[in-house]
């Protein structure tokens, strides 16, 4: 779906906003988070278990990972996706998760309100996509922590729920 440029709804009527329709699942929620001004930064207190990637991360300047050489950082990484940036993001957010480890993320999320882009996410159903229509007994072939969104701890979110 292409992004729209203008929207006149409620308090947004005096400003240009971006909106998109039918995309309020996980990818739409992630995009909204980024458009809200949140950027991923390297948490310099953590150590990534991949020594080659860790060395590359230490070479980075203090700018957000979004402004780094993503091709260089993702070089040589392997994962569940054919998209090297997706593999990089996965390994930064959940180091060695493909091997069953639950290591802390090496990312910190910081919000810069000056980078925030006014936007609306419009969808046909409750935010979260198809997950709301599934039975409580439905299982996923993905580990639960792989279902995390930026800034949301999966265990905190699902604490006390049967899924």
Flag whether pLDDT at 26 surpasses 90.
no
Residue 13 pLDDT level (bands cut at 50, 70, 90): very low
Cβ atoms 43, 108 nearer than 8 A: yes
Parallel/antiparallel/unpaired status of strands 18-21 and 119-122: parallel
Flag whether pLDDT at 42 surpasses 60.
yes
Question: How many residues can be counted in the chain?
Answer: 163
Flag whether pLDDT at 50 surpasses 80.
yes
pTM (predicted TM-score): 0.69
Within 10 A of 74 (CB to CB), how many other CB atoms are there? 20
CA dihedral 127, 122, 35, 26 (to 10 degrees): 30
Lowest mean pLDDT among 37-41, 140-144, 157-161: 140-144
Tens of pLDDT, residue by residue over 94-145, are 898 878 888 888 999 999 999 898 888 777 777 666 666 667 666 555 555 6
Tell me the percentage of the chain whose pLDDT exceeds 90: 29
Q: In angstroms, rounded to a whole number, what is the distance separating the alpha carbons of residues 110 and 33? A: 11
Question: Between residues 148 and 30, which one has the greater pLDDT?
Answer: 30
pLDDT, residue 11, reads: 47
């Amino acid at each position: 779906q292409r992004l729209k440029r203008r929207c006149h709804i409620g308090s947004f009527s005096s400003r240009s906003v971006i909106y998109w329709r039918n995309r309020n699942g996980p990818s739409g929620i992630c995009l909204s988070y980024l458009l809200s001004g949140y950027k991923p930064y390297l948490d310099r207190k953590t150590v990534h278990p991949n020594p080659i990637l860790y060395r590359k991360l230490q070479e980075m300047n203090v700018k957000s990972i979004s402004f780094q050489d993503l091709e260089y950082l993702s070089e040589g990484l392997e994962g569940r996706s054919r998209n090297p940036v997706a593999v990089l993001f996965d390994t930064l957010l959940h180091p060695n998760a493909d091997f069953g480890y639950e290591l802390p993320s090496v990312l910190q999320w910081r919000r810069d309100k000056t980078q925030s882009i006014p936007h609306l996410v419009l969808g046909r159903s409750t935010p979260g996509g198809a997950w709301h229509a599934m039975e409580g007994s439905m299982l996923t072939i993905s580990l639960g922590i792989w279902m995390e969104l930026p800034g949301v701890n999966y265990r905190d979110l699902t604490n006390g729920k049967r899924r």
